[in-house]
Amino acid sequence: MSSSDSSLSISSEDPSDRNHDLNPKSIEDQLASTSLVEIDAQEPEDHREIQNGVDYASAGEGSHHQEIENNDEEVIVDAAQEELPSNFGVPGGLVEVEEASMGLGRGGVVWMRTNSELEVDRPSSPSSSGYAGERGSSGASSGGVSGTDEVVEDEIQEDRNDAVDDVLDSQASWVPGKRHVDEDDASISWRKRKKHFFILSHSGKPIYSRYGDEHKLAGFSATLQAIISFVENGGDRVKLVRAGKHQVVFLVKGPIYSVCISCTEEPFESLRGQLELIYGQMILILTKSVNRCFEKNPKFDMTPLLGGTDVVFSSLIHSFSWNPATFLHAYTCLPLAYGTRQAAGAILQDVADSGVLFAILMCKHKVISLVGAQKASLHPDDMLLLANFVMSSESFRTSESFSPICLPRYNPMAFLYAYVHYLDVDTYLMLLTTSSDAFYHLKDCRIRIEMVLLKSNVLSEVQRSMVDGGMRVEDLPVDLLPRSRTFPHLGQHKLPTDSPDRFRESYAGVGGPAGLWHFIYRSIFLDQYVSSEFSAPISTPKQQKRLYRAYQKFYTSMHDRGIGPHKTQFRRDENYVLLCWVTQDFELYAAFDPLADKALAIKTCNRVCQWVKDVENEIFLLGASPFSW
């Protein structure tokens, strides 16, 4: 990683870094303001919800209530961001389409296509698409606002009923697997779910649905297929349909169609990226050669081929709300002393030289070390999908196993064989090979690796790192203040893990220096990111998910080809100050207290970058990519 000597300064020329009050207000702008005020009135209630500890991620029956729930916070964030200058004055592109739909009102449907930006204004009715955006009351299609409010009230009530259960739930207790199998598209609860994912075949046969039994959704799938083929018949491709606050995103990959229907206000690009990952997960299980089945028989039923993989998909979909790797396209490492990681890397290199294609040692979703045979490189998305596949399948924990898997970015057509073995409850070794006879060789490799790891204490260091955690904003070196310490590196934090949180709870809004709450640093050359540990005030999974959604939106706007790429962006809304800084070497995303001082925030970002560089030996796997040293 080359250290960039440029630093972010207050006077940086940043077109988007302007106070929006200076801008003349467009009609949309005013609309957005109106809605902002309107929703603002509900704010105290939302906050109470958070205080009650209503968590998004919860196990079992409790969870679907959150899923149904209309997340008001997200609406607020969105409305506030509509006001931001970076979204305005854009010629063409998705942003404009979305704004137009705001202007059309909630009944408007906007079709977004590849070749043309045709907008179709059409009242949405439950019968027109088989899917109702708002079906809260009979007057929903005309009086959209009141209809929505009604739904919101319903859902808040449902939430309160479950608040007691939800307090007990946390991300850690999330149980993968399909729920609500009894539902179908006629169920009100099914229609109210905030985010649906479907995979279907080009003949309209359901392959996968996040909620409900695929077989019962045949009619619904056929409707989705009809929409896609209707547009295709016109020599075009449908990418996005907006219906009120719902987005319907399409991804067509040969005979396999993926569709997301969401009212989560995530950007189109993010949802499309999630569909790409879901499709990739399917390829990882089956390879792309499954397409041949459809060539032989267009009405081929693919569901049996994916038997038993509901947990894999549900855990991937869950990770969209807690794992930033899903939108950063980078992986993260478990913090370890340089020497420890080197020791692990050396033994992995040893086996890679003996005919193993990839040797990957991971602890949960974090990489300990990773080695590829010559010229073989592993895409971060493939790692994400592979780790998700292994972690979500309980069967890998029972014994060592040898399974065919496909890395979609490496070679979507062919199976590799994965030897998987858990070394302890969270740490697992994956050895990938092209040879189906290699099991006993890989088993021997594993025995050697395990011996070396035990001897060099790598496994105990891994355990310790898991307990100690990663970078904490509280530990950010502050050179000017008297309380500063000299570069407290990882694992040297002085306070026990839980005490700072308790201490700070009374001071909502105090995390690190200058109101720094959280950051993500992504090294572009390394394809790796490091993210700070969550601490107060972002302590519940629900708040964390909201922050990730905000980052995700930020990431999208930073990478928008139409208006970007930006170098810096500074956004302030009632939830956060978000600051992003992109250079050739890295991307930094930082969240601050909404009242944070801008100049100080910028200064703090410079410190974060310096800090990351100071500890890069411990937080990154260096030497894994040809660009690094």
Give the interface with other proteins as residue ranges (CB under 8 A).
285-286, 304-308, 311, 354, 389, 393-396, 398-405, 418, 436-437, 439, 443-444
| Nearest distance from C-beta of residue 403 to other proteins, angstroms | 2
Asked whether 600 and 478 are in contact (CB, 8 A), the reply is no
Please list the residues that pair with 362 across neighbouring strands. 367, 428
State the SS3 of 82-126: HCCHHHCCCCCHHHHHHHHHHHHCCCCEEEEECCCCCCCCCCCCH
CA 267 to chain centre: 12
How far is Cα 476 from Cα 611, in angstroms, rounded to an integer? 7
Looking at the Cβ atoms of 284 and 579, the one nearer to other proteins is 284
Asked whether 39 and 77 are in contact (CB, 8 A), the reply is no
Tokens standing for 125?
């009715």
| Nearest distance from C-beta of residue 444 to other proteins, angstroms | 7
Tokens standing for 97?
């389409």
How far is Cα 130 from Cα 137, in angstroms, rounded to an integer? 16
| Nearest distance from C-beta of residue 3 to other proteins, angstroms | 41
Asked whether 194 and 263 are in contact (CB, 8 A), the reply is yes
Helix axes 310-319, 380-392, angle to 10 degrees: 130
| Nearest distance from C-beta of residue 397 to other proteins, angstroms | 9
DSSP annotation of 333: B
CA dihedral 214, 61, 310, 299 (to 10 degrees): 0
Looking at the Cβ atoms of 402 and 525, the one nearer to other proteins is 402
Looking at the Cβ atoms of 286 and 605, the one nearer to other proteins is 286
Phi-psi region of 230 (alpha: psi -120 to 50; beta: other; left: phi over 0): alpha
Looking at the Cβ atoms of 170 and 401, the one nearer to other proteins is 401
Other beta carbons less than 10 A from residue 163's beta carbon = 16
| Nearest distance from C-beta of residue 253 to other proteins, angstroms | 18
Looking at the Cβ atoms of 396 and 548, the one nearer to other proteins is 396
CA angle (567, 569, 575) in 5-degree steps: 155
| Nearest distance from C-beta of residue 436 to other proteins, angstroms | 5
Please list the residues that pair with 259 across neighbouring strands. 198, 250
DSSP annotation of 209: E
Looking at the Cβ atoms of 339 and 404, the one nearer to other proteins is 404
Q: Which of 384, 131, 413, 93 is nearest to 254 (CA)?
A: 413
Looking at the Cβ atoms of 201 and 393, the one nearer to other proteins is 393
Tokens standing for 605?
């970002």
Tokens standing for 205?
């046969």
Using DSSP's 3-state secondary structure scheme, residue 231 falls into helix
Q: Which of 368, 390, 380 is nearest to 316 (CA)?
A: 390
Peptide bond into 537 cis (omega under 30): yes
Half-sphere exposure of 384 (CA within 13 A, CB side): 31
| Nearest distance from C-beta of residue 394 to other proteins, angstroms | 4
Asked whether 358 and 376 are in contact (CB, 8 A), the reply is yes
Peptide bond into 565 cis (omega under 30): yes
Looking at the Cβ atoms of 278 and 621, the one nearer to other proteins is 278
Cβ-in-10-Å burial (0-12, 13-18, 19+) of 271 comes to buried
Q: Which of 621, 622, 533, 618 is nearest to 336 (CA)?
A: 618
Q: Using only C-alpha atoms, what is the Rg of the chain? A: 25
Using DSSP's 3-state secondary structure scheme, residue 263 falls into coil
How far is Cα 423 from Cα 433, in angstroms, rounded to an integer? 19
Looking at the Cβ atoms of 92 and 304, the one nearer to other proteins is 304
Looking at the Cβ atoms of 389 and 589, the one nearer to other proteins is 389
User: Which amino acid would we find at residue 473?
Assistant: V
Which helix (H) or strand (E) element contains residue 471?
none
| Nearest distance from C-beta of residue 305 to other proteins, angstroms | 5
Looking at the Cβ atoms of 119 and 400, the one nearer to other proteins is 400
| Nearest distance from C-beta of residue 74 to other proteins, angstroms | 34
Please list the residues that pair with 358 across neighbouring strands. 372, 432
How far is Cα 199 from Cα 277, in angstroms, rounded to an integer? 12
